Amino acid sequence: MQLNALSNYLQNQPLGNNATSEAQGIEGISATEEKPLEPGAYSPSQRAILISAVAAEFDVEQLSQEQVGQLQLKLQQFGLLQGNDIGGFAILHNARGQLAEGESLNALALLDFSRQRFETDQVGYSQRQQINQMQTLVENLASARSLAQRQIA
């Protein structure tokens, strides 16, 4: 339910020119500076909220073959996976093709293993960056999911 609400929110965001968005940003800053923050107050970033929403739907440590493609679409829809990041996601797609029927993919372990093999596989700099960014995103998804499960219990 939260995922659909976030999708709807993101799709209905106005697309303005840079001057308008900068003016709105300045207004937003001055408005927040007038209110003092309460001690211990915390407000998660929009990215953290989006990651939590995706993590609620996908367990990156147990992805089925179908979920790999669905995860990519959801990450792209929320703007968490863009441009060159898709190259890092190719590792997951390749591994998905090698899964037996009913077997699940542990994206976190696979990306960790890929990073460990940088030197022996002579991975290029740009591909290393893509894998590192993808691993960070997957680690954030796993962390958000485990945090949500601890809060439920």
Averaged pLDDT, 8-23: 50
pLDDT band at 11, cuts 50/70/90? low
CA–CA–CA angle 15, 19, 21 (5° rounding): 45
CB-based contacts of 51, cutoff 8 Å, min separation 6: 80, 137, 140, 141, 144
Q: Give first-to-last CA distance, the chain, whole Å.
A: 20
- pTM value > 0.75: no
Residue 105: what are its φ and ψ, rounded to 5°?
-110, 130
More confidently predicted of 10 and 100 = 100
Q: How confident is the model at residue 25 (pLDDT cuts 50, 70, 90)?
A: very low
- Quote the CA–CA distance of 88 and 94 in Å, as a whole number: 11
